[in-house]
Amino acid sequence: MTWQQCQAVISRRSELPHGHILLGLKAPPVAARARPGQFLHVRCGGDGWPLLRRPFSLAGILPAEGEVELLVRRVGKGTAWLASQPVGQVLDVLGPLGNGFPRPWQKQKQGDLLGVAGGVGVAPLVPALLEAARTGWDVGLLLGAQDAPGLLLVERLRASGIDVSTCTEDGSYGRQGLVTELLAERLPGASLVFACGPPGMLRVVREMTTAVECYFSLEERMACGVGACLGCACQSGDGYHLVCRDGPVFSAREVQL
């Protein structure tokens, strides 16, 4: 039921544009129980440096293979270390952590799920979109990025029958503009929206989705990742929620951004 501390072996790695990297991790206990929207808390570096673990969303859940995937964006020392590890490297991970997305497709035969993501924010949506699509839901993804190479995992999602619309800020691929502009057009058909991206984007998504159920995957600085330190607070109507334990997925209406 709960999380484990386990050793995950890097089974494959591929370099994606703009310093992103996709890691396959052999971690059967995690893969067996992970739900879309959950995350791993990964020890990056050796011998106590950096001090704290780093949280990464599960960008792929493959229970049959005993594998999960992480999509990592290099932004600092922890991610630089992680992204440079070779296949075969053993990682110390805690997981699966967090609540995960709601999965109405397990009960309802039909529905229209729309994902909205900016950049690496696509990571937590991937397993949710794939699962919903597999159960027969209509699934779309609106993906925005700075430029064409920043549109990650698009081919993979399209290959799984997901209707991906893209836009780039520089117009180098898809429409030029922000992903929220696409949302204005595509929202009417959707019964459920999942979004992940910068707070500015999420605020606009929230304003636009007052009439439809909408969930966000949030990020906050974490220490423990398991609800023990109370470090990852995010403000809600009534006090603070913990992103690591009560989230990272929250109803768009319950959190302040």
Partner 1 sequence: MIDLTVDIGRLRLKNPVLTASGTCGYGREYAHILDLNQLGGIMVKGTSLVPWAGNPAPRVVETPAGMLNAIGLQNPGLDYFLHTELPWLRQFDTAVVVNIAAHQIEEYAELARRLDNAAGVAALEVNISCPNVRQGGLSFGSDPLTAHRVTAAVRQATSLPVIVKLTPNVTDIAALARAVAEAGADAVSLINTLLGMVIDVRARRPALGNIVGGLSGPAIRPVAVRMVWEVAGAVSIPVIGMGGITCAEDALQFLMAGASAVAIGTATFANPRAPFEVMKGMAAFLQEEGFTAVSDIIGLARRGIA
Ligand X SMILES: Cc1cc2nc3c(=O)[nH]c(=O)nc-3n(C[C@H](O)[C@H](O)[C@H](O)COP(=O)(O)OP(=O)(O)OC[C@H]3O[C@@H](n4cnc5c(N)ncnc54)[C@H](O)[C@@H]3O)c2cc1C
Q: Which residues bind ligand FMN (CB under 6 A)?
A: 223, 229, 231
| Pick 60 or 225: Cβ nearer ligand FES | 225
Query: Binding of ligand FES at residue 227 (CB under 6 A)?
Result: yes
Nearest in space to 8 (alpha carbons), one of 39, 36, 42:
42
Query: Binding of ligand X at residue 71 (CB under 6 A)?
Result: yes
| Pick 6 or 223: Cβ nearer ligand FMN | 223
Half-sphere exposure of 17 (CA within 13 A, CB side): 12
Judged by CB under 6 A, the residue of 148, 208, 223, 257 near ligand FES is 223
Judged by CB under 8 A, the residue of 9, 148, 208, 223 near partner 1 is 223
Task: Give the rounded distance of the alpha carbon of 181 from its chain centre.
Answer: 21
Is the peptide bond preceding residue 29 cis, with omega within 30 degrees of 0? no
Strand stretches in 98-230, DSSP E: 112-118, 138-145, 163-168, 175-176, 192-196, 213-217
Scan residues 77-116 and list those touching a copy of itself (CB under 8 A): 77
Judged by CB under 8 A, the residue of 15, 19, 32, 49 near a copy of itself is 49
Tell me how far apart the alpha carbons of residues 152 and 75 are, in angstroms, rounded to a whole number. Answer: 16
Query: Binding of partner 1 at residue 46 (CB under 8 A)?
Result: no
Scan residues 193-222 and list those touching ligand FES (CB under 6 A): 222
Tell me how far apart the alpha carbons of residues 3 and 233 are, in angstroms, rounded to a whole number. Answer: 20
Half-sphere exposure of 81 (CA within 13 A, CB side): 15
Residues of the shown chain interacting with ligand X in the complex, contacts defined by CB under 6 A: 39, 50, 54-57, 59, 71-73, 75-79, 120, 123, 219-222, 248
Residues of the shown chain interacting with partner 1 in the complex, contacts defined by CB under 8 A: 2, 4-5, 43, 48-53, 94, 220-235, 239-240, 245
